[in-house]
Chains A and B, each alone.
Chain A
Amino acid sequence: MFQLDKVQKIDIQELLQVTEEAKSQGKRFVTINCVDLGEELDLLYHFDKDLVVNSYRLTVSKGVEVPSISNIYISGLLIENELQDMYGLKFEGLVLDYHQKLLTVEEISQPLTVSNLGVQYVTKSSKKEVVTVGS
């Protein structure tokens, strides 16, 4: 019910087309999730119709500008601005661009990137066993 086994992978050229199709089918935009994979960012777009969610996975290299869907779904503007703040991602054509200052300030830049989190995973069984991702 909740697992994301059937996410459709798309590339950056397909994003706006997929979004337009979702809109024309009367789907509601839900949100975008983002995970920092190190060299790349994993973006998950979710659309809902009658409580069925369709999800699309877009993996982009860091530094690549992603087309904004806010021209199609205006409700996408806040999450796209949030992702700009948190990951330094740049959305091209945002209808309202807060220029990475929606939620954060200049002193706190891209706080959810792996390099800034300095990820340390401590397993429960052994507090000494530490898996470090990023710096």
Chain B
Amino acid sequence: MARKIQMPFGPQHPVLPEPIQLKLVLEDEKVVEAIPNLGYVHRGLEGLVTKKDYNQMIYVAERICGICSFQHALVLSMAVESIWKVEVPERANYLRVFWAELHRLHSHLLWLGLAVEAFGFESLFMQSWKIREKVLDVFEATAGARVIISTCTYGGVKRDVSPELAKWSLEKIAEVEQELKAIEKVFVNDYTVKRRTVGIGVLDKQTAEQFAVVGPMMRASGIKQDTRELGFAAYGDLDWEPVVEQTGDCYARILVRLKESFQAIDLVRQALDKMPQGEIITKLKGNPPAGEAFARVEQPRGELTYYVKTNGTANLERMHVRTPTFANVPSLLAMLPGSELADVPVIILTIDPCISCAER
């Protein structure tokens, strides 16, 4: 009979950019139990509602995550706008899609690189991140910043995109598409990628439903659901379908994020193509009225929910954030037992963990 040992995985580990710990119980090299442990970098940002006014909270929300900062600002704006009963100008809705999809694209490119780096595919990792830089160039040109762009606000967006800038952005995105197509076949067909991901960390449809996973995790397990189907911003006017895979393994999660990267490029094109002329913001005065709202958007990692309660003052009374990583971490309890120790880093990375999101 194999000897059982308990082993800590993290919080500092070469494959983990951020700290999370898993207490693994192993029988030889096989995982029999895994208990996740958070709390290493909790920042208490939700508590800042009492110290920062509602305008400042947009900047706080953006700093919950550097990778999907735009979606944090977007969903907070949507929640407060619904309490305020504000109509957002149509052009602003299209610009929101433009920046949101660019965030999805750069987030997925970042993740694709990290995922293959987890099993030592350094050159593919570098190629993915090299392509991602061009998306950040578009952020810099259109918003003036490469990471946290601060363009979304209550009532619309703060910056417009001129026709010249839109044309330049489309040229850059075309380069991204061309370069991503060149490495797509490596992600899909390469022996090493398939050997380390096919049949690994399987989360079947029933277990995915039981663990209530969200985003690409959910869709890689055959569940066709994407919060963008709600039609917020301009998504309801654009032509797209959720990307779904059936096998529920690490390979399926790579395929979903890869296809969603191309889909993001298509949505950026559609948004710029169909964007009407007009105002980009509805100016708001005073404080939001008392009320509460529950809003959600599809962040690159999945469904992001914000609960906001207002009381008529300049401060929000409560802001509660449920990030997709927070929803996806419990699924490790199902995916890790039965796997080989060498596959643990790959499986953890395929949930695309964002600890700064989870520990906002």
Interface residues of A, Cβ cutoff 8 Å to B:
1-4, 26, 28-31, 33-35, 44, 46, 50-51, 53, 55, 73-75, 77-79, 96, 101-105, 108, 111-112, 117-125, 131
Q: A35 CA to B314 CA in the complex, in Å?
A: 18
Asked if B212 contacts A102 (CB within 8 A), the reply is no
Q: List 20 A-B contacts (CB under 8 A).
A: A2-B78, A4-B294, A29-B212, A30-B212, A30-B296, A30-B305, A30-B327, A33-B307, A33-B318, A74-B210, A74-B333, A75-B211, A75-B330, A101-B39, A104-B39, A104-B42, A118-B50, A121-B315, A121-B317, A124-B286
B296-324 CB mask vs A (1 if < 8 Å, else 0) is 10000001010101010111011010100
Q: Is the CB of B212 within 8 A of A119?
A: no
Closest residue of chain A to B226, judged by CB?
A51
Q: Count the A-B residue pairs with Cβ separation under 8 angstroms: how many?
A: 111
> Is B341 close to A, CB under 8 A?
no
Is the Cβ of A103 less than 8 Å from the Cβ of B82?
no
Contact between A51 and B39, CB atoms less than 8 A apart:
no
Are B225 and A51 in contact (CB-based, < 8 A)? yes
Count of chain B residues near A, Cβ 8 A: 50
What is the interface of chain B mostly: helix, strand, loop, or mixed? mixed
Instruction: Please tell me if the beta carbons of A79 and B322 are within 8 angstroms of each other in the complex.
Output: yes
Contact among B79, B225, B326, B330 with A2 in the assembled complex (CB-CB below 8 Å): B79
Contact of B292 among A3, A74, A77, A101 (CB under 8 A): A3
User: A-facing mask of B37-59, CB < 8 A → 1, else 0?
Assistant: 01100101011001101000000
Instruction: Find out whether the CB atom of B44 lies under 8 angstroms from the CB atom of A111.
Output: yes
A121-B44 in contact (CB<8A): no
| Nearest CB of chain B from residue A104's CB, rounded to whole Å | 7
